[in-house]
Structure 1
């Protein structure tokens, strides 16, 4: 809607209505009475003022959080929570710390003492776990085994114990790798009493924080640890990403390629049953995988950087 063909009196009236409504907080009915026009005309003038660019509504950033992107992302993907942080000037480690701090702040808002927090092994989760101060005394449950990654010296057990120590709650842990060397070892571990009981604790989880990997080189620790044959087999199963060692396709459906038989992680039913799963991700390359995880309901909240948020918004258009 443009301003062409409208006389100055109507333009001034539109500006007056917009000023009284947006700056002075008057209701449409109040403005109609004050200006002796119908409330329907007030509504039309407000629409014209917005659509023509006479009025520009801007949501400004609040320190570290980009509120406008956060709101648009939440609406575009019907997320329970969405937090977008500016990471443009940060190196990868600093950005991970930034995302971890933002995730910890979100958890401080949403967790109550009746909740149970689930944490898998992931590099982003390891960094975030150091920031979990000020939370209620929630129990913390280990969701997966651990991977050995150069430069990362924390196991899944370390992450859960650290988080529980900071929250003051109890920790549920088990000692196992995320990926074993063969199927027999993984099967044996899953039947082990301590591991089986630990994995069963996932049924208690009300909130989980997960990293999300895309099925490509350097974008998933599981992909990087898989053999070339396993990677190809996973692609044949339609795998586009993984979270907590569980693979999913482009619609966010959990799938079990042969590789899944040597992974120690929570069950598919337990993962789907978690009421709130917060995905923590950065950068553009993982956007398609994250969008799939959201579509499939594997993740229903996000903490991301502006670059990743823009990529997700592009996919939503």
Structure 2
């Protein structure tokens, strides 16, 4: 269904503001933009559907339980227990902006989060301001180690964004597993089969049946080890990894952002563009899906295509928020 993009993002802001009254207005606006941009990228499992699941998860949870540290500190944390993950991520980005401006560096841990959305969008927001950003997120166990068949870590995505001369920021965003849980959910909903080699069943046999998946597989040995690194940094090091089986599962994340000029990068944007040319010239592929996206709500296209069920939910929920 084709609907007005500005109205869609306004509806998302309204329902998030109602769901998280303690959140900063700027954080809610940025989170709403990312949710809509996930839809624009053709990734609805990271858009409105994700937000619906996360708001259901938070039903009855007091959002006042969030305990962020000082906004201008170079290192700190966000307790996302009571807020949607995408709002907690927007809070971390806002604080990182302030810290990079004040100190040249920001390191922010996030714990207790639900679905965080597309990490590359958050990293891109910082790179658009001239920072270099790295984001890593761990998640509940769904992926087996390389050569094994029992789950130990999550899909554990990693995103890096760097300013680029005469072009949008260069963004690299990928999961360390061969498949994502979103892909499994989509296959279950559509009745499609999964690609070969991405998952195993309860007996450890390779499967393409989404209903039989017992464990996802890593993207090779390097993907497995990278997933373990993400688990250590975004899970163990910042308190994101839940080890008590009596507690609900959640996600942890780590955001690192810095001013490249203070780190010795005399002309980082030009160097990134030169690397882009060298990579492509050698026959390499650079992801470009983020390049078409605006960095500000004012630059959104006139309309966006959304699923009919998601549009109905958004209208009903946002209308209820406006009446509350």
Q: What TM bracket, shorter-length normalisation? A: under 0.3
Larger Rg: 1
TM-score, length of structure 2 as denominator length: 0.24
Q: Would you tell me which structure has more helix in proportion to its own residues? A: 1
TM-score, length of structure 1 as denominator length: 0.24
Pick 1 or 2: higher relative contact order, CA cutoff 8 A, min separation 6. 2
